[in-house]
Structures are given as structure tokens and as C-alpha cells.
Structure 1
Amino acid sequence: MTLEEFQTELELERTWRENDIRFLHNLQEKLSSSKEREQLRRSIIGMHYAHIEGFSYFAFSLYAESINELNLKCKEVKPAIAAASMHQIFSTLRKGEKKNPLFKRSLPDDKKLHQACQEIDFIENINQVAEKKVKIPKEFINTENNVGPNVLRKLLYQMGLNHTDLDSISSDLSRLLNIRNDIAHGKYKNGISDKDYESFKACFNTIISKLSSLINTAFSQKHYLLAS
């Protein structure tokens, strides 16, 4: 994927989500009753958070998929990217379920032994691992259906980026997450006031903008490479 294609996909995803929020915003503005406007805003705030979670997943997934398409070797990328690419291998190692042929019959249930055998095999083939093509599995990107500051820090770290790069939006994101939860638990039954609504709308715009900018910069400046 070229940089232009990457930027286009990211921008198209951002645009339709922002348009959706703008459509809902215009709907509530047209209501003549202030009470109805405040009640509708409860749903709009929920959509603010839903779109942030959806965009976060899309942006990190696009970054991972675009790196995959570059056909890089694990030795050429940052350790975090290489580790992400070998996610399934490490998962198998941790489970220790694969039986080593040497002990498959004599000690079939010795989990620690078979796990050690896999670890030894991994080390013996470490040079081949370094030559392995980077292929980050789709399921590696996980927002845990609850995007908050710590989830973003985890995703940034796992993709070889500075885990604090989005800390500037932590406060805004925490506010949106908290009000989303409060609304789900029955608070704000009377709706969202003008002041609070404008504040949360600004939070949404800031978060989407910062995340979009960070992912775009990371790909355009090749932050995935070992030497970057």
C-alpha cells in the first residue's frame, strides 16, 4: 500500500464517522424543545464514544495491514512489530500443547517438558525467525470493547510506537468513557446540557484528529522500521 492509499483510506474512514456525528448534531439542533434536544444528546454522546472505539480499531488495523503488505523481514522492523508478527508462535509456546516427537510416547503428559522442547526449537531456529516475513495477524489488534487511555497505550506499545504519544487526549477520552458508562447506568436521565454537550463534542473532535495524525505520521515516517 502506498502512502497516498494509506492516507486516503484513513481519511475516508474518519470522514464518514465525522459526517455521522454531524448528521446527529444537526438533528438535535432542529428540535424546538430544549428538553428533547437534551434527551437526544444522550444517544449522540454514546455515538461519540462508539465512533472513537471504531476508528481506533480501524486506524491500528490499517497500520498493521499496511506494514504486512510491505513484505519486510522481522530483522528489519522494530522488536514490537516482529513480536506482533509472531503472536501465534508465542501463543503456541505459552500453551505448551504441541508434543515433541522425542517424548511423545514416553512422556506425553509432561507439559513443562514439551514446552521446554518448543522453546529449544525456537532458539535453534532463531535465524530463520529473523528472516520470517512480517505478517501481523488480524486478531492481534484488540480494543477490548472498552477504549480508554490504558488500552491506547497498550496498542501503541504493541505496534512499536511511543506508548505515551496519545496521553494528551487521555483526559478527554476518560471523560467520554465515564459519561458513556454513566448514561448506560441510568444517570443523565434529564439529558445533556448545552455546556456539557459542547464539551463532549469538542472531546470527540480532538481525539479523532490526534489519533488520525499520529497513525498517519507513524506510517509516513516509517516508524515501524528498526532504524527509525
Structure 2
Amino acid sequence: MDKIDIISQIEEELTWRFEELVFFKNQLSLIEKEEEQNRYRKSLVVMLYSYYEGFCKSAFQIYIQTINLEQVTRADVNLSIRTSSLHEVFLAVGNDSKRDSRFKKELPEDSKLHKYSRQATFVNEFTNFLTETVNIPESIVDTESNLKAVVLKKILYRLGFPFEELDISENTINKLLGYRNAISHGSRKRGITEPDYEGLESNVKELMNNIRKIINEAIRCDSYLETTR
């Protein structure tokens, strides 16, 4: 797939969310009383969070699909992508219910032995793993139903982005989650004032734009490769 097409997909994921947010925000002009406008903004905050989480998940999954479609081997990609592509293999290694058939009868409950057997199988097949085509599962992008700053960092780390060097606006994420949770728990019954909402929306949009730029740059530069082409 052409890089321009892929980047366009990510741009569209951001654009439709921003446009829809504008549409719903414009409905404020139909509400005369300020206190009712404040109450209406509670719904905008909830939507703002859903757009933030939804965009991040969609954009990262597009990035994963892009890598998978390249049909490169694990030996060709960086350590993070290589590790993420082995996610299912690692789950099998750590699966305590998976037991070596040779010991099922004599030592069925020897968990250490069966664990060692799974590890030995992994080591024996490791060379083959490196020659296999990369296929990162979508489950790597786990927003954990609450896309906190630390959760976003985990996703960035798994996909090989230099998360420690990136400004992911932790204060903005914490503020957004704080508002959303307060609304859900009923502790902001009076709603959100215009200045508070506008400041929050501006910062969240900037955060989403930064995520877009990070992913687009990685696609342009083939950053997932061990040595860029």
C-alpha cells in the first residue's frame, strides 16, 4: 500500500472526529441559558475522551496493519516490533495449562518441568521465528478501557516509539480523565464552563495531532525496520 494512502487514512481518522465535535459543539448556540450550556458541555467532554481514545486506537492499528502488509521478516524489524510480533508465542510459553505430552502421565502436575519444556521448545524454534513474516496482533494496542498516560506509553513502547523522548501531555490526559470520571460519578452536576472546556479541547486536539505526527513520521521513515531502507 502506498505511504500517502496510509497517511491519508490516519488523517481521515482525525478529521472526521474533529468535524463531528464541531457539529455537536455548534448546538450550544441553540441553548440560551448559561447553566444549561454548562450542563451540555458535560456530553462534549465525554465525546472528547471517546474521540481521543478511538483515534489513538485506530491510528496505531493502521500502523500495525501497514507493517504487516510489508511482509518483512522478524529479522528485518526493530526489537520492539519483533517482540510484539511474537506476542502469541510468548503467551504459549507462559500458558501453565500447556503440558509436554511426554510427561503428562508420569508427572502431570510438575509445573516447573512443563514450563521448562515450553521454554526449550521456544529456544529450539527461535531461529525459525526470525525468518518468519511479521504479523503483529491488533491486541497489542490495548487501551485497557481507560487510556491513561501510562497506558499510552505502554502502547508506544510496544510499537518501538521513543516514548521517553515524546511529549504525550500527561497533564492534559489526566485532566481529561478527571473531568470524564467526575461526570460519570455525578460530581460535576453543574457542568463545565466555556473557558474550562475550550482549554481542555484545545489541549486534547493538540495531543491527538502529536500522535498523528509521530505515526506518520514513522511510516514515512520506515522506523519499524532494524536498518531503514
Q: TM-score range by the shorter chain?
A: over 0.9
Q: How many residues align?
A: 228
CA distance in 2, matches of 1:115, 1:162: 33
Contact 2:71/2:133, CA 8 A, preserved across alignment: yes
Query: In the aligned structure 2, how far is the partner of 1:40 from the partner of 1:126?
Result: 56
Q: CA deviation at 1:204?
A: 2.2
The aligned runs of 1:30-179 (5 Å cut-off) are: 30-179=30-179
CA displacement at 1:101 relative to structure 2: 3.4
Aligned-partner residue type, residue 200 of structure 2: F
Report how far residue 55 of structure 1 moved.
Answer: 0.6
Given residue 179 of structure 1, which amino acid in structure 2 is its aligned partner? Y
What is residue 195 of structure 1 aligned with on the other side?
Answer: 195
Shift of 1:51: 0.6
CA distance in structure 2 between the aligned counterparts of 1:67 and 1:135, rounded to whole angstroms: 8
1:20 matches 2:20: yes
Aligned 8 A contact 2:140 2:158 in 1? no
Name the SS for the 2:163 alignment partner: coil
Query: Residue 128 and residue 42 in structure 1: after superposition, are their counterparts in 2 closer, same or farther (change >3 A)?
Result: same
C-alpha distance in 2 between matches for 1:139 and 1:119: 23
The AA in structure 2 aligned to 1:24 is: F
Counterpart-to-counterpart distance in 2, 1:184 and 1:75? 47
Other structure's SS at 2:160 match: coil
Q: Which moved more, 1:105-114 or 1:118-127?
A: 105-114
Conserved 8 A contact 1:92-1:98: yes
CA distance in 1, matches of 2:77, 2:96: 27
Distance 1:40 1:165, change over 3 A: farther
Aligned-partner Cα distance in 1 for 2:167–2:147: 13
Partners of 2:175 and 2:29 lie apart in 1 by 23
Aligned partners of 1:49 and 1:180 also within 8 Å:
yes
CA distance in 1, matches of 2:203, 2:194: 14
| 8 Å Cα contact 1:166/1:210 also seen in 2 | no
Whether the 8 Å CA contact 1:46–1:180 is kept in 2: the answer is yes
Q: Match of 2:204? A: 204
Q: Secondary structure at the match of 2:169?
A: helix
- Structure 1: which 5+ runs fail to align? none
CA positional deviation for 1:187:
2.1
Instruction: State, as a whole percentage, how many aligned pairs show the same letter.
Output: 30
* Aligned ranges 1:5-16 → 2 under 5 Å: 5-16=5-16
C-alpha distance in 2, partners of 1:211/1:85?
22
* Deviation readout 1:114-167 (Å, 9 max, x if unpaired): 110111111112110111111011222100010111011100000011123443
CA contact (8 A) 2:77 2:224 kept: yes
